[in-house]
Structure 1
Amino acid sequence: MASKILDQEIKNTPQVKWRDYYEMTKPNVILLLLLTAVVGMCLSTPGALPWQPVIVGLLGIGLLSSSAAVINHVVDRQIDAKMARTHNRPVPKGKISPRRALIFAFVLAAIGYLSLEVWVNTLTAMLTLASMVGYAVIYTMYLKRATPQNIVIGGLAGAAPPLLGWCAITNEIHPYALLLVLIIYTWTPPHFWALAIHREKDYARAGVPMLPVTHGVEFTKTSVFLYTILLGIVCLLPYLVGMTGLIYLFGATLLNAGFLYYAWKLKFDSNDNTAMQTFRYSIIHLMLLFIVLLFDHYFVFQL
């Protein structure tokens, strides 16, 4: 009789799958961050990269970034439960308890930090930890709920990976690495605000003071358009300071023109799908921009 009751309890207990833990790490976001970190590594030196700081550096940066994502899932679980885009996430759905998620986050952070500290360098370990704290604590726990400028102020944490990759190879903070950070920092507001426009009702229902909720959709569209113009100017800087060549200039110009087209359409000729189209293009824009940086670096170096 006891065994039957136990069997029934096991059947009624939600089964935690590894995919639930994997989902909490926001793998698609982490892959984009790691791409920018790889580009930072490659641009830091004209020659071949040493394998240890590359492999361990990417591992450590990825693990600490994943830990920050898991903490975000825990802290935002009540907000996520009210939003159509996020209500099926493992923590608000009850598949993983907040306690288990935090233990998972701690393990990821510990392994990531120790890997960087022992096999890469202290500078990279400290900067990556600071980036994690910036996103998981300063942005997620405070800024997201405190100000409509949350993504502007907190965007620095998500813009750090190129600098982290650069430091992993050189153990120094270089102005060129900071320029890569500036590109992502400027890219973040129009990228995220386009999504916020599409999900404005969700954010309003969840009580999150995103810009479309506090200042209106039209104001946010204007902000996206103006930030996209600013991004186009910032993206010219690597060429103007001699960091890149004509390949980058041509590629960046085309990509920025595409982003500006979507931002213009969002502001002046939008429909129900334009905000999401702009958001999706912004991801393609950043990914291709950093691939162009990589191609420009190695092609010019070979010449």
Structure 2
Amino acid sequence: MALIIRSEIDKATQAITTALPWRDYYELTKPKVVMLMLLTSLIGMLLATPSPAPLWLLVLGNLGIGLCAGAAAAVNHLVDRHVDVKMARTFHRPVANGRITPTNALLFSALLGGAGLWILSSFINALTAWLTLASLLGYAVIYTLFLKRATPQNIVIGGLAGAAPPLLGWTAVTGELDGHGLLLVLIIFAWTPPHFWALALYRKKEYAKAGIPMLPVTHGDSYTRLHIVLYTVILIAVTLLPFATRMMGYCYLVGALVLGAGFLYRALKLLVSKDPKQGLETFKFSIIYLMALFVVMLVDHYLFPIPVYGA
């Protein structure tokens, strides 16, 4: 009976997927990841000037950045299709599962990337378009094709590409590079290792099976847990730089310290815990942490502008 029910469910799922192929292409863009990137991009735009940026710029800027991010994600699906089928977390992905052919995935990626770069270069500015292209290539080519399989420091080095969105948002508004915009990149760059290594701990067996040299696979759980704590301390120190440079005020300082203490508590709990699910819980908290930190930045920026822009 159970087999019959499972067979019917599979048939129904296949019928829905066939009828709605756009869902597979939507999944190809890694929408949850892109949404988080667009949140940081939008906040970069909002923090770039004392007054709100024009609505058209916010919409078109994030549309262009989002399309390019989706293009990079599609390339990741394409390149990792042989690895994805070996992991429980990713075996159902559309290219790995055969619902989208590699050729169609590549064409879809080219279409998204081309459209995104055209929007940025035509309606925003050339600097943002070039930086977005560099970020796209950094993730889709340098990280996905080379670093991911070459070194356990893959996520540390490759994390720079994923940290770019707030800077892209900043340059979309100002048209120029700025130290404060680079600080936003530095925060995400420092956040990425403890964020992703926590998930890697939880998925260690799958990464080992797929032959991906993530830190827990090459150096063990204890080593990884310790480095999550150390990188969390680095992250907390980095998040104090916006206050030290007078980009942010005391509201942000309090928020950053409280959130940092929460992240450090999670990291220390992971260090001593034997619960295999603790890595996943830390991973989930890290996402909430980053979103909350950027929201605190916005609150400080708009409600307490004098400490931010004072001489």
TM-score in terms of structure 2 length: 0.92
Question: For residues 222 and 88 of structure 1, what CA distance do their matches in structure 2 show?
Answer: 32
Q: What is the aligned partner in structure 1 of residue 119 from structure 2?
A: 115
Question: For residues 111 and 86 of structure 2, what CA distance do their matches in structure 1 show?
Answer: 29
Question: For residues 274 and 160 of structure 2, what CA distance do their matches in structure 1 show?
Answer: 29
Alignment of 1:70-219 (within 5 A): 70-219=74-223
Percent identity over paired residues: 56
Q: 1:44 aligns with which of 48, 52, 57?
A: 48
Q: 1:245 aligns with which of 249, 263, 268?
A: 249
**Contact kept in structure 2, 1:224 and 1:263, CA below 8 Å:** yes
Q: CA deviation at 1:114?
A: 0.3
Q: CA deviation at 1:269?
A: 2.6
Q: What is the aligned partner in structure 2 of residue 6 from structure 1?
A: none
Q: What is the aligned partner in structure 2 of residue 281 from structure 1?
A: 285
Question: For residues 88 and 150 of structure 1, what CA distance do their matches in structure 2 show?
Answer: 24
Question: For residues 128 and 231 of structure 1, what CA distance do their matches in structure 2 show?
Answer: 24
Q: Deviations over 1:207-234 (max 9, x none)?
A: 0011111111111111101000110111
Q: 2:294 aligns with which of 290, 297, 300?
A: 290
Q: What is the aligned partner in structure 2 of residue 4 from structure 1?
A: none
Question: For residues 295 and 56 of structure 1, what CA distance do their matches in structure 2 show?
Answer: 24
**Contact kept in structure 2, 1:16 and 1:96, CA below 8 Å:** no
Q: CA deviation at 1:16?
A: 5.8
Aligned length: 292
Question: For residues 36 and 103 of structure 2, what CA distance do their matches in structure 1 show?
Answer: 28
Q: What is the aligned partner in structure 1 of residue 28 from structure 2?
A: 24
Q: Deviations over 1:151-204 (max 9, x none)?
A: 000000000001000000000000000000000000000000000000000000
**1:58/1:99 Cα in 2 relative to 1: closer, same or farther (>3 Å)?**
same
Structure 1 window deviating more from structure 2 (51-60 vs 28-37): it is 51-60
Question: For residues 151 and 126 of structure 1, what CA distance do their matches in structure 2 show?
Answer: 23
Question: For residues 259 and 300 of structure 2, what CA distance do their matches in structure 1 show?
Answer: 15
Helix, strand or coil: the match of 2:90? coil
Alpha-carbon RMSD: 1.4
Question: For residues 31 and 279 of structure 2, what CA distance do their matches in structure 1 show?
Answer: 23
**1:122/1:20 Cα in 2 relative to 1: closer, same or farther (>3 Å)?**
same
Q: What is the aligned partner in structure 2 of residue 268 from structure 1?
A: 272
Q: CA deviation at 1:268?
A: 1.4
Q: Deviations over 1:96-142 (max 9, x none)?
A: 11110111100000000000000000000000010000000000000
**Contact kept in structure 2, 1:191 and 1:282, CA below 8 Å:** yes
Question: For residues 136 and 19 of structure 2, what CA distance do their matches in structure 1 show?
Answer: 29
Question: For residues 300 and 18 of structure 2, what CA distance do their matches in structure 1 show?
Answer: 50
Q: CA deviation at 1:14?
A: 5.2
Q: What is the aligned partner in structure 2 of residue 64 from structure 1?
A: 68
TM-score in terms of structure 1 length: 0.94
Question: For residues 139 and 230 of structure 2, what CA distance do their matches in structure 1 show?
Answer: 25
Q: CA deviation at 1:52?
A: 2.8
**1:270/1:247 Cα in 2 relative to 1: closer, same or farther (>3 Å)?**
farther
Question: For residues 51 and 20 of structure 2, what CA distance do their matches in structure 1 show?
Answer: 45
**Contact kept in structure 2, 1:60 and 1:111, CA below 8 Å:** yes
**Contact kept in structure 2, 1:52 and 1:119, CA below 8 Å:** no
Helix, strand or coil: the match of 1:195? helix
Q: What is the aligned partner in structure 1 of residue 4 from structure 2?
A: none
Amino acid at match of 1:83: M
Q: What is the aligned partner in structure 1 of residue 230 from structure 2?
A: 226
Question: For residues 59 and 16 of structure 1, what CA distance do their matches in structure 2 show?
Answer: 23
**Contact kept in structure 2, 1:16 and 1:95, CA below 8 Å:** no
Question: For residues 298 and 220 of structure 2, what CA distance do their matches in structure 1 show?
Answer: 39
Task: Give 4+ residue runs of structure 1 displaced > 3 Å after superposition.
Answer: 13-16
